[in-house]
Amino acid sequence: MTRASAVRVGLIFPELLGTYGDRGNAVVLVERCRRRGIEAELVEVPAGDPIPDSLDVYLFGGGEDDPQVMAAAGMRASRAAIEGAHRSGAVVFAVCAGFQLIGHSYEAGDGERLDGLGLVDLATSAGPHRLIGEVVVEPDPSLELPVLTGFENHGGRTTLGPDERPLGRVRTGGGNGVGGVDGVLRERIVGTYLHGPVLPRNPALADRMLGWVLGADLPTLEDGLVERLRAERLEDARATGWRARRRDLHLNRG
C-alpha cells in the first residue's frame, strides 16, 4: 500500500488527557502502520498549543476533573481546525474524558457545567457512583469487528442524542451508564469509555480506523500474543460479570 505522505497520528494534550495510559492507542496505530510498510509518525500536541488541522487521526484520552477543564478550553479554541480536518477525512478517537468532551457538555454533581466541542450530539452528567471494572462491548454490526474489551473508571453518565448511535451494546460493565450501551459511532468518529489501553486490547478496531484514513482494508497482521491477551481479558470480564450478577441477586433477595 502506497501513500504520498506519512500517516500523522495526533496525541492531543497528553499532559492533561493521559491519566490511564491512553498514549498506548497512539503507539499502536503508528506501529501497526509501520509493520505493514506504511510510513507513520506520532505527533504530540502539548497543552496550550493550538491543535493543527493537518493530522490524520486525533486522539483524545482520559483525564481527571481539573485537567479536563483545561483540555476543554483548548479543544474549543481549535474547534474549526478539528472539524475541518474531519471533513477532509481525518479520524477522531476519544476515550473517557475525551469522549465526554467531543459532546456538548458535562454537568458535575454540584451543577457546574463544562462545555465541550459539540462534535457529536451527546451530554454527560455526574452519576451517583463510579463505574469501575472490566467491560465487554458487542460493537455495532457495521464495523464487522469481534467483541471489544476494556477497563472503565469514570463517574459520568452519557446520554446520546436521538440521531446518534453507540459504539456497541454492553455485555459486561457500565459503559455510558445509560441505555446499556458504550460510546458513540459516527462516520470516522469513535468515542468510548474503554481504557486498557483499548487499541492494544482490540487491534481490529485500530485497523478499522486506519482503514478509514487510508481508504482501504489493511492486510492482516498475525499476532498470537495479542489474541492470548484478548482471551485472558474476556475470560476475566465474563467472570467479573457473573460475580456482579450473583452479588446483585443476593442483595435483591435481602
Active site members: 96, 195
CA torsion, ordered 201, 151, 16, 82, to nearest 10 deg: 60
**Dihedral sign computed on CA atoms, order 109, 135, 179, 211:** positive
245: left (phi over 0), alpha (psi -120 to 50) or beta: alpha
Which own/partner contact pairs does 163-168 have at CB distance under 8 Å and 24+ positions apart?
163/121, 164/120, 164/121, 164/122, 165/140, 166/140, 167/137, 167/139, 167/140, 167/191, 167/192, 168/137, 168/138, 168/139, 168/140
